[in-house]
Structure 1
Amino acid sequence: MRKNPVPPELQTTVSHVSDCCLRSFHGYQIKRTFNVIQSDLNRTLKPFDLRMITYSALVLIVDNPGLRQSQLAEAMDIERPNLVVIIDELERRDLIVRDRLPQDRRAYALKATLAGRHLCDNAIAAVKVHENRLTQGISPDALTSAMKVMQLIEANRSREG
C-alpha cells in the first residue's frame, strides 16, 4: 500500500479548477477557442456526412479543379499517406474523381463531380451560418483584427522553419 505524501491537514478538495495561468498564453486560448469551433462545426457538417478534414479537402478540390494529391496534402498540411484515406472516401461517395495526369502517370488530378460541387455549396452555406452564430456580437473590425493576428502567427512559423 502506498503512503500519501501530503499530511491529511494539508489536503484540500478542489471545487473549481483555475486555468488563469494557462489562459495568459495565446496558444492555450486559441486551442480552447478551436475546441468550441470544432465541436460546433462537427454538428454543422454531420447532416452532409462530412468531417472537418473531408469538408476542407472537398472545398479545396472544388476551388482548384485539377489539383494534384501532393498539392492538396501540402495545402492541408497533412502527410500524403493520410490524404489517401480522405481522397478514397470522397471518391467512394462519388464527390470527386481522380484522373491520371498524362505527363506523370504516378500523379492524379482531382476534380469534383456535379454531386460534389452541390454538396460543397450546401456545406459552405451551413458553415457560414455556423461562423455567424459563433461570432455573433463581435464587431467586423475585431474579427478582421483577429484574422490578421492569426495570419501573422502563421507567417512567423514560416519564417522560423
Structure 2
Amino acid sequence: MTADVPHGTTASRATDRPGDVSPFALGLLLRRAHWHAAAVMTEALRPLGIELRHFAVLIVLVDRGPTVQRDLAAATGSDKAGIMRVVDDLERKGLAVRRSVPGDRRARAVMITPAGVELFDAAHVAAEPMAERLVASLGPGEAGQLSELLTRFAHPVGGEA
C-alpha cells in the first residue's frame, strides 16, 4: 500500500523524540509521558497491594459514589470483562462491595468500603514523594503549568476529549 505523498516531498516520520514535527508527535509524547507516570505511580501502589487499574476504579468510586459496573467500565476505559475482574479483586481485598440496584435486577452498583477509603488515602500519602520525583526535572512553576495545560487538554471547555 502506498500513501499519496505529493511528488518531491517527504512525509514526516513519526517518532517521540524531541523536535519531532510529525502530526503524531503530541500523541506519541503523551503516550511516553503516560508510561513514565504510570511506572512511577505503580511503584507507589505496589506496597499497598493494588495496581493502577484497581486505583482507577477507587478514584471513580470516591468521586461518584456507588457506580454501576458498566459506568465504571466507561469511566476507566475498560471493557466489561476487565472491570468485572478488577471489581472481583477489590471485593476480595475488602476494598469494594457490589450491591443490587433498586428497580433493576440485573444491575449491580459497586461501592467503596471504609477499608477502600483508607487505602485510597494511604495511596495519596505514598504517592507524594513519587509525584515530586516525577516532575523533578521541571523548573520552578513548570509542574503547575504542565498540570494546568494537561487539564485543559483533557477537559476542553465546551468540547469533548
Query: Given the two structures, how large is their TM-score scaled by the length of structure 1?
Result: 0.74
**Whole-Å Cα distance in 2 between the matches of residues 63 and 20 of structure 1?**
37
State yes or no: 1:134 paired with 2:134.
yes
Task: Output the amino acid matched with 1:53.
Answer: R
**Whole-Å Cα distance in 1 between the matches of residues 28 and 93 of structure 2?**
37
Give aligned-pair identity as a percent. Answer: 25
**Whole-Å Cα distance in 2 between the matches of residues 29 and 44 of structure 1?**
23
Query: Given the two structures, how large is their TM-score scaled by the length of structure 2?
Result: 0.74
Tell me if the contact between 2:73 and 2:83 (Cα under 8 Å) persists in the aligned partners.
Answer: yes
| 1:100 counterpart SS class | strand
| 1:97 counterpart SS class | strand
Question: C-alpha deviations, 1:111-131, integer Å up to 9, x for none?
Answer: 111111111110122123321
The list of structure 1 runs, each at least 4 consecutive aligned residues, that deviate by more than 6 angstroms after superposition, is: none
After TM superposition, list the pairs within 5 Å mapping 1:61-72 onto structure 2. 61-72=61-72
Equivalent residue number for residue 114 of structure 1: 114
**Whole-Å Cα distance in 1 between the matches of residues 62 and 155 of structure 2?**
26
Q: Shift of residue 137 of structure 1? A: 5.3
Q: Shift of residue 152 of structure 1? A: 4.5
Query: Greater share of helix residues, 1 or 2?
Result: 1
Considering only aligned residues, what root-mean-square deviation do their CA atoms show, in Å?
Answer: 2.7
Question: C-alpha deviations, 1:67-109, integer Å up to 9, x for none?
Answer: 1112211111221221100001001111111100111111112
Distance 1:22 1:124, change over 3 A: closer
| 1:136 counterpart SS class | coil
Equivalent residue number for residue 146 of structure 1: 146
Task: Output the amino acid matched with 1:32.
Answer: R
How many residues are matched?
142
| 2:150 counterpart SS class | helix
**Whole-Å Cα distance in 2 between the matches of residues 127 and 137 of structure 1?**
17
Unpaired runs of at least 5, structure 2: 1-12
Q: Shift of residue 38 of structure 1? A: 1.6
